[in-house]
C-alpha cells in the first residue's frame, strides 16, 4: 500500500496560521502572540515557528520588525503573487469577484503577448492548436490545454516579462481553469477561440490576432460574470 507522507511540522504551522489569518482569527493589522505562546498554541517548536513566520513575511502575509510584535499585513495591498496562489486554493475565503479580477488582468495582457507570439511562431502555434480539445471534452482537459497554449504564447512573445508573470500563476491557473471550464458555455466559447486562432495561424495573419484575443477575453469575462449571477 502507498501511504501519503505525513505533513511536516512547518507545513502544519503554515497551514494553521494562514487559516487563522483568512478566517479573521488574526485579522488584518492585528498582532500575533509572542513566539513562545504561538508555538505552544500551534504545537511546534520555536525554531520551526520562526522559519514559518519568515516565509509568510516574505510572501506578504506578515510584517516582522525587530523589537516589535509581528503584524498581520493587509495582504491585498502588501502581499505578493504567493498570496494569490493561497487564495486560489481557499474558495471559502475568496471574494465573489476573485476569478473575475484575474480575468481582467488576462484581458489586459493576453492580446499583446498573443500578437507578439504570432509574429514569429505562427506555425508552431498552429501545430499546438490542432490538438485542442473538442467542445464536449472534460473541464480538466480544457484547463490543461488552455494553460499550455498561454504558456506557449508567452514563451514565444518578445517581452520576457509575460512568461515570468504566467509562470508565477501556474498552480493558480489550473485551479481557476477547472472552475471556469466546468460550464458548457465556457468550453464552447474557448473551443471557438482556439479554432479562430488556428485559422489566423494557418493563414499567417497576425494582424487580426490582437483584436480577436481582446474580444474573446472580454467575452469570457462577461460570460463568467453572467454565470455567477451578474457579479461585477
8 A C-beta contact, residue 86 and residue 77: no
What whole-number distance in Å separates Cα of residue 114 and Cα of residue 90?
30
Domain end among 19, 48, 79: 79
Do 200 and 175 share a structural domain? yes
Do 104 and 42 share a structural domain? no
Residue 25 CA to chain centroid, in angstroms?
A: 25
For 116-126, the pLDDT digits (tens) are: 999 989 999 99
The confidence band for 1, taking pLDDT boundaries of 50, 70 and 90, is low
What whole-number distance in Å separates Cα of residue 23 and Cα of residue 92?
9
The range of the structural domain enclosing residue 211 comes to: 93-227
Rounded to an integer, the average pLDDT of 129-134 is 96
Domain end among 79, 111, 127: 79
pLDDT of 85 over the 80 cut: no
Least Cα distance to 228 among 109, 90, 94, 83 occurs for 94
8 A C-beta contact, residue 65 and residue 72: no
SS3 of 18, please?
A: helix
The confidence band for 232, taking pLDDT boundaries of 50, 70 and 90, is very low
Residues 6 or more apart whose CB falls under 8 angstroms from that of 207 comprise none
The confidence band for 45, taking pLDDT boundaries of 50, 70 and 90, is very high
Amino acid at each position: 500500500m502507498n501511504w501519503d507522507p505525513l505533513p511536516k511540522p512547518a507545513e502544519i504551522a503554515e497551514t494553521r496560521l494562514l487559516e487563522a489569518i483568512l478566517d479573521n482569527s488574526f485579522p488584518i493589522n492585528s498582532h500575533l502572540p509572542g513566539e513562545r505562546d504561538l508555538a505552544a498554541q500551534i504545537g511546534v517548536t520555536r525554531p520551526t515557528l520562526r522559519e514559518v513566520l519568515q516565509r509568510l513575511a516574505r510572501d506578504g502575509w506578515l510584517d516582522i520588525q525587530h523589537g516589535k510584535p509581528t503584524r498581520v499585513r493587509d495582504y491585498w495591498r502588501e502581499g505578493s503573487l504567493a498570496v494569490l496562489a493561497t487564495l486560489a486554493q481557499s474558495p471559502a475565503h475568496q471574494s465573489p469577484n476573485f476569478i473575475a479580477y484575474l480575468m481582467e488582468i488576462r484581458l489586459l495582457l493576453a492580446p499583446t503577448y498573443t500578437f507578439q507570439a504570432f509574429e514569429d511562431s505562427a506555425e508552431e502555434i498552429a501545430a499546438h492548436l490542432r490538438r485542442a480539445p473538442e467542445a464536449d471534452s472534460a473541464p480538466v482537459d480544457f484547463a490543461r490545454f488552455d494553460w499550455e497554449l498561454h504558456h506557449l504564447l508567452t514563451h514565444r512573445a518578445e517581452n520576457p516579462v509575460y512568461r515570468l508573470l504566467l509562470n508565477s500563476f501556474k498552480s493558480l491557473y489550473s485551479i481557476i481553469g477547472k472552475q471556469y471550464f466546468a460550464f458548457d458555455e465556457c468550453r464552447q466559447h474557448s473551443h471557438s477561440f482556439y479554432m479562430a486562432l488556428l485559422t489566423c495561424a494557418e493563414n499567417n495573419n497576425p494582424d487580426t490576432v490582437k483584436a480577436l484575443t481582446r474580444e474573446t477575453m472580454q467575452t469570457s469575462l462577461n460570460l463568467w460574470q453572467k454565470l455567477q449571477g451578474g457579479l461585477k
